[in-house]
Structure 1
Amino acid sequence: MNGEPIWVVGATRSGKTAFLVSQFRAWAQSGARSFGDLTRDSGRTLELRQSTPTQGAAAALPRPLMQPADASMPGVLVLTAIGDNRIDLLDRLTAATQSKVPLHSTTPLGFFQEEVMLFWSLLIQQLDLKAQFPIRLSPENEQALAAQLWQADLDRTIGQQAGTTEVRLVRRLLDLLQLAALAGIPLADIPVMLEQGLAGQGDQLPLPDADVGELLQRWQRWCLEGGLLTYGIIAELYWQYLLPNPTYQRHLAQRYQIVLADDVDEYPAIARTLFDVLLDAGATGLFTYNPDGAVRLGLGADPAYLAGLADRCRIETLSARSVPALGNDLGDAIVALVTDPIFFASLPESIQAIQTTSRAQLLRRTAEVIVDAVQTKQLQPRDIAVIAPGVDAIARYSLTEILTKHQIPVESLNDQRPLTSSPIIRALLTLLTLVYPGLGRLVDRDAVAEMLVVLSQQSAVSGQQSAVSSQRSAVSSQQAEPTQHSTLETQNSPLSFILHPSSFSIDPVRAGLLADYCFVPHPDRPRLLPATTFPRWDRLGYQASNAYQAIVQWIEAQQGQLEQRLIPNAVSLLDRAIQHFLFGGGSLPFEQLSALRQLIEAAQHYWEVDGRLRRSQRFDAPAYMTVSRFIQLLQSGTVTANPYPVRPIGPNSNAVLLANVFQYRSSRRAHRWQFWMDAGSPRWLSGVDSLFGAPLFLQGWSGRAWTAADMMDANERRLRRILLDLLGRTEERVYLCHSDLATNGQEQTGVLLSLVNAALPLDTVSLTAAL
């Protein structure tokens, strides 16, 4: 496979991925030896309109009826920036070739991890490691274990530097390790780079540069001795030890003769080293590149360095977008208007402004426009995206509440919130504290009351749907006396989530009464007493009393099995609780089901790592200590990794998308209408979506100190990429949603205010929805 590789360059939605699929399909059908044999500068035979065959007959065939992959075909490595894009591209390539070509699809970081795991024996020999299969640490486990290892140094630093938090300091240290590894920079060079790049800015990392290097090296040694791997350590092992290994290079060349890499502007620097090795070994490839992409710049990507790969390829430039988009005609004009606000211009009708005084009015007004558009059949919910530099809890709740009230689903894209923000997760963690001993300090009455409500699904209690019991519940609800837990109905309570009273056997008021009178706090054995302990237990009603008693009996049964060692670990207990109280999760909304999947995946990983540490360090602490650490980890607000991507089906697939700018651009989606929330916010220019010290780890870094002027220049170039990318992903209309005052009452004078002033104000007369 000595063919000439192809470098495809083009703007957002210019057809780069379609070109890749079309080229690969033509190669698979023709049996050509390389992509270079398929097209030349003169006489291109491929048509981009044929490059999306997902609606054709091949896509409609069931997978078993397709022809099996030919084992004699060369191996094909397919790379995409993130997992969601990987699934989409793999589906298109599989349909284009009717599954006749074996494909290995992954992301760059996923590929590095797979290779390190697969060739771990080579690394054992080269680094003289203990012969044990490695385990990859999740980010939340990485943070917790690193903090334990560095505890003494962290305490000393925090004591000397006011305002420094342990979580932030640990995260920055680990980010430095990952950035250096993805950039192909030795760990020993980090102190020198920090000294040069952060000169005079020591308050950003209040540790001597030498101590930073020593802490990171200690962490790396500890992980390798225990067979624990992080993304940073995996990347360093790959580029520094595995990729230069001649044995590995020989196996790599035998396995992959073709490389398909989409959006290489999102790849780390060491990915180019991988491509160079493959091309040197005789492989061919096709690489797509967006000069205005670079979404992951600051998170390890080095688009300028990857662009140098074009020197080894034949360049194909896609100048025009393959689909209609506002960016075709307005992109450069809008960027000019933002960067030169002195120049005044009026924008066309496709750019409109929604202006209010307060942000609360803005959220409501935006929801009204969406409801009106959907109800008047102008477009479907899936054609609408609400994009903001940062989606806070107030905006997410307000928009979701108003839209769902009008039967318009809302999809919150990769919602990065702590697991404990979900009432179901908090209820399950509270359940653990009541089953395992020694966890009484992690639970209180409010948490117990919330647990009783969440776990009292009516269908979990048999025979509770009669009209008589419903009438008793209604009467007793009116007679229930107010208690100190009457505040449970306020928005500041843990129970301030959307409840449908008919769906739960125990309402918040009864749950508060039960927690007041039947919950016995204890540091070792907190208990739930029988409902009759409440002097006026008759006011609870038959339905609530039965549901409460079922929960108490289940907890007592699990305690008995725990004493008999019939519960392997807390993961098994969580699974039992989900099956018993939540019916396996099958009837839950997609967001709640996703939260349960996150919890189970995080718990499984935590206990896997705990088992490895117990064996390697030879300690046998009680099981409840592990449960306690896990609960405290989640209660601290740690954001766990998203579960394996699953696409919504049914009504949820036709939903309004709610995302921040980074998430939206990463997802590569496009919509007919876009709503740019908080258009006057300064975060459009200065929003933080990069790791600490990221500019210092780019291959093009000058070696001088990173100054405020450099930061401003980087922010302006980032804003230009954002505007061009978003406009390239909208087909018909953009609404600039601006409120004069932010949530905190301050006036908003962000960089996009010139756009708001130049846009046409929304015509309020056309609205028909009255919310």
Structure 2
Amino acid sequence: MLQWISGGSRSGKTYALVREFAQWVQQNTSVIPRERSLLFLTDTVEGRQAIQREIQSQLGSGYRPYIATPVGFMQQEVELFWPLLVEANAVHPHPPLHLKPETELMWAQRLWQPWLENNTFAALGENCEPLRCADRATRHLLDIFQLCAFARLRLDDLPQLIGDHQLEMPSETVGAIVTALKQWQRWCTDHSLLTYGITTDLFGRVLLDHPRYQASLGQRFQCLLADNTHNYPAVMADLITRLNQQGIKIVLSHQPISAVRLGLGADPDAFLPLQNQATVTELSHCPETIFGKTNLRVAIQERLGTPQLTLPQTITAIQTTSRMQLLQEVVETIATAVEQGVVQPAEIAILAPGVDSIARYVLSSELEKRGVPLVILNEQRPLIQSPHVRALLTLLLFVYPRTGIIPEATAVAEMLTVLLPREIDAVRAGLLSCYCFQPGLEQAELLPYTHYSHWDRFGYRATAAYETLRQWLSTLDASQMPVYLLEAAIQRYLWPQHLTASELAPLRSLLEGTAAYWQIYDHLPGQRATPTAERLREWIYLLRRGTVTADPAPPLRQPQGVLLATTFQYRSAQLAHPWHFWLDAGSPRWQDGGLQCLWQAPMFLRQGSASPRARVWQLESERLEHLLVDLCARVSDRLFLCHSDLAANGREQEGPLSPWVDLAVGDRP
């Protein structure tokens, strides 16, 4: 009843997984296709869509299995079995409320303020600016809690774990870490607040070991199919073990190397004991890549171990002195190839360990000038970068008194031009903000336009629109929650402007985030009396720090164009293109693929036979190899190694792929 499908990138694991499911369904007429008894797990939203397409292709549209990511599954299970958690005295009887990561940081800092003021966790926030040390230490503490939950480790085991890895940390700091995390765990469960870490902790620490929950697994699920288990946390391996003990049909797919989320909670080795109990199918299919049909891992290992080996003619280098020249050369190469019909825009991907704002702007603007569309994958920018969001926040300061924030004249001018772009231009907005805006600590005010001695210069259209805005502001009720006023302002001033989807996404995130933020205050008994002005001030500060980002829903129909993405995003989405452009190929960031692991993440893995320190070293040394094997499996025709001698900050670049850049030869198409 347990089957294991193993293969590399693009070897057909998902297809084989669904094929096993289809054969099982056809042999078992008792399977109810529309019930949630058919459980599919996958690592990403894109993986969920791929499984659904594959099911429809092989079985038609009649089957609607329950498809979830590991975190999504645990969230639903904790909510479903909340009464059981209450009965086990693990949580408070109050209905649960989800705490978003950006607000999680703020509440954790409040809880740990005495420790942070005494710099107790300095070892976690080292090598950073003084103002950022508290943020970094808090984030690391929350990451430690989440990694412990993923690995199903008790907090009391942390001192032993840190000692085994020989981390240079005072015992007093280690003890404070354990105490602080227990305090956070207790505070969240006492107030029925759920974060990713708390949800995983409740699922792994309480539910998985509860006899009634274990009995329910066999009653609720007939079949489990888990795709890409190499990207799952160890707690999911324990869940699958429980399901296997119930005699449920289980099919797993696993990739021996190239786990994308290694360092972010994934523990591929935790699933290997299941492989020993399963019927194993090895997929030997090798997709066509730039190295041909050869074994990619062997080819990459040889070229990393012996840099003098030649590269295929399909790998070309684009070399310049400055990075701006490099970006222009990339644009020219792409535009020429598209104009000549050599390749279509949708067949090109531009990848880098990290995509900075300069590269994003230059590539999008220059390609647009050449008539080549550019699509940015999963772009998430801080909400405060949206001018519409900034305008709405400035607007709120004229409604709610005593927030302690005085809007600047430039922000008021921006608000006028954003809300009334057809009536008030930048010059008139600047004059109005200089002469008709009265700042005040108690409450800011917009004065009548006649307060400016030369008000006749504004014109009728601008003055009429300005006065209408003033009158509307005077009708707003400061006793209402800000989310209602934000929605009213959007409906009145922004919705008629026919904003694009990318402009609407931050507005939707602002409304959702503001509502969730207010809900937390109303949820906590000790915070319900907090004045609206104080809540609003803290929310605006949180937005201005850039910790809240827009998280747009993936479009039903993906736009067509040249794709710009980080290597982590691209691999997570399991994409493939005929042409690749690897930006900053000489950058040292290619060593880790642009992925920064959570604090000491390797020590939370289930190590197997290797010693902890040896395992950490092995992960670091293998990361580049795994990255290259995965990416090279996703490009079939041309690979351009794009390298500039100087980075964006003017420093010389010398990274692990520099020998490849020197070896890559050939002319651009």
Same fold per superposition (TM over 0.5) = yes
Q: What code does the residue aligned with 2:537 have?
A: S
CA contact (8 A) 1:331 1:724 kept: yes
Secondary structure of 2:637's counterpart equals: strand
Is structure 2 residue 541 aligned with structure 1 residue 666?
Answer: no
Deviations 1:18-70 (A, max 9, x none): 11222323333343789xxxxxxxxxxxxxxxxxxxxxxxxxxxxxxxxxx65
Cα distance in 1, alignment partners of residues 82 and 321 from structure 2: 60
* Aligned with 1:573 (options 485, 491, 496): 485
Q: Which position in structure 2 is the counterpart of 1:153?
A: 115
Q: Which position in structure 1 is the counterpart of 2:426?
A: 508
Cα distance in 2, alignment partners of residues 605 and 644 from structure 1: 18
CA contact (8 A) 2:290 2:315 kept: no
* Aligned with 1:694 (options 582, 601, 607): 601
Is structure 2 residue 39 aligned with structure 1 residue 77?
Answer: yes
Q: Which position in structure 1 is the counterpart of 2:98?
A: 136
Q: Which position in structure 2 is the counterpart of 1:100?
A: 62
CA contact (8 A) 1:15 1:321 kept: no
Is structure 2 residue 543 aligned with structure 1 residue 634?
Answer: yes
Deviations 1:313-365 (A, max 9, x none): 11111112356665644834662365235x42332331111111000111111
Report matched runs for 1:203-602 at 5 Å: 208-321=173-286, 326=291, 328-329=293-294, 331-332=296-297, 335-336=300-301, 338-340=303-305, 343-439=307-403, 441-458=405-422, 505-558=423-476, 561-562=477-478, 565=479, 567=480, 569-583=481-495, 587-602=498-513
Cα distance in 2, alignment partners of residues 70 and 431 from structure 1: 52
Q: What code does the residue aligned with 2:494 have?
A: L
Q: Which position in structure 2 is the counterpart of 1:733?
A: 638
CA contact (8 A) 1:177 1:216 kept: yes
Q: What code does the residue aligned with 1:182 have?
A: F
Q: Which position in structure 2 is the counterpart of 1:755?
A: 660
Deviations 1:249-300 (A, max 9, x none): 1212111111111100000001011001111101011111111221001111
* Aligned with 2:13 (options 6, 16, 21): 16
CA shift, 1:226, in A, is 0.6
CA shift, 1:648, in A, is 4.9
Secondary structure of 2:546's counterpart equals: coil
CA shift, 1:444, in A, is 1.3
Q: Which position in structure 1 is the counterpart of 2:88?
A: 126
Q: What code does the residue aligned with 2:560 have?
A: N
Cα distance in 1, alignment partners of residues 55 and 398 from structure 2: 51
C-alpha distance 327-554 of structure 1, shift in aligned 2 (>3 A): farther
Cα distance in 2, alignment partners of residues 668 and 227 from structure 1: 36
Q: What code does the residue aligned with 2:184 have?
A: W
Give TM-score scaled by structure 1 length.
Answer: 0.81
CA shift, 1:528, in A, is 1.7
Cα distance in 2, alignment partners of residues 101 and 338 from structure 1: 46
Secondary structure of 2:499's counterpart equals: coil
CA contact (8 A) 1:143 1:171 kept: yes
Cα distance in 2, alignment partners of residues 198 and 446 from structure 1: 53
CA contact (8 A) 1:267 1:306 kept: no
C-alpha distance 607-325 of structure 1, shift in aligned 2 (>3 A): farther
Q: What code does the residue aligned with 1:725 have?
A: D
C-alpha distance 420-337 of structure 1, shift in aligned 2 (>3 A): farther
Is structure 2 residue 145 aligned with structure 1 residue 177?
Answer: yes
CA shift, 1:604, in A, is 2.3
Q: What code does the residue aligned with 2:516 have?
A: H
CA contact (8 A) 2:5 2:280 kept: yes
CA contact (8 A) 2:391 2:419 kept: yes
C-alpha distance 378-159 of structure 1, shift in aligned 2 (>3 A): closer
C-alpha distance 128-194 of structure 1, shift in aligned 2 (>3 A): closer
Q: What code does the residue aligned with 2:351 have?
A: I
Q: What code does the residue aligned with 2:646 have?
A: L
Secondary structure of 1:678's counterpart equals: coil
Q: What code does the residue aligned with 1:15 have?
A: G
Is structure 2 residue 651 aligned with structure 1 residue 746?
Answer: yes
Q: Which position in structure 2 is the counterpart of 1:26?
A: 23
Secondary structure of 1:736's counterpart equals: strand
Deviations 1:673-709 (A, max 9, x none): 1110000100001444310010110010779775xx8
Cα distance in 1, alignment partners of residues 443 and 16 from structure 2: 64
Q: Which position in structure 1 is the counterpart of 2:621?
A: 716
State the number of aligned residues.
662
What's the % identity of the aligned pairs? 40
CA contact (8 A) 1:325 1:729 kept: no
Cα distance in 1, alignment partners of residues 243 and 54 from structure 2: 24
CA contact (8 A) 1:675 1:736 kept: yes
Q: What code does the residue aligned with 1:575 have?
A: E
CA shift, 1:607, in A, is 1.8
CA contact (8 A) 1:14 1:323 kept: no
Q: Which position in structure 2 is the counterpart of 1:60?
A: none
CA shift, 1:112, in A, is 0.8
Cα distance in 2, alignment partners of residues 507 and 348 from structure 1: 56
Secondary structure of 1:355's counterpart equals: strand
Deviations 1:402-458 (A, max 9, x none): 122334332222224322122222222222222221235252122222222222243
CA contact (8 A) 1:675 1:737 kept: yes
CA shift, 1:549, in A, is 3.4
CA shift, 1:98, in A, is 2.9
Cα distance in 2, alignment partners of residues 128 and 659 from structure 1: 42
Q: What code does the residue aligned with 2:604 have?
A: F
CA shift, 1:536, in A, is 3.2
Cα distance in 1, alignment partners of residues 260 and 292 from structure 2: 17
CA contact (8 A) 1:327 1:724 kept: no
C-alpha distance 557-403 of structure 1, shift in aligned 2 (>3 A): farther
CA contact (8 A) 1:74 1:257 kept: no
CA contact (8 A) 1:337 1:755 kept: no
**150-159 or 628-637, which moves further after superposition?**
150-159
CA contact (8 A) 1:367 1:402 kept: yes
CA contact (8 A) 1:356 1:362 kept: yes
Cα distance in 2, alignment partners of residues 648 and 447 from structure 1: 36
Secondary structure of 1:434's counterpart equals: coil
CA shift, 1:654, in A, is 0.8
Q: Which position in structure 2 is the counterpart of 1:7?
A: 4
Q: Which position in structure 2 is the counterpart of 1:51?
A: none
CA contact (8 A) 2:322 2:644 kept: yes
CA contact (8 A) 1:136 1:228 kept: yes
Cα distance in 2, alignment partners of residues 580 and 250 from structure 1: 54
C-alpha distance 680-545 of structure 1, shift in aligned 2 (>3 A): farther
Cα distance in 1, alignment partners of residues 134 and 281 from structure 2: 49
Unaligned runs of 5+ in 1: 35-68, 459-504, 767-771
C-alpha distance 385-538 of structure 1, shift in aligned 2 (>3 A): farther
CA contact (8 A) 2:33 2:65 kept: no
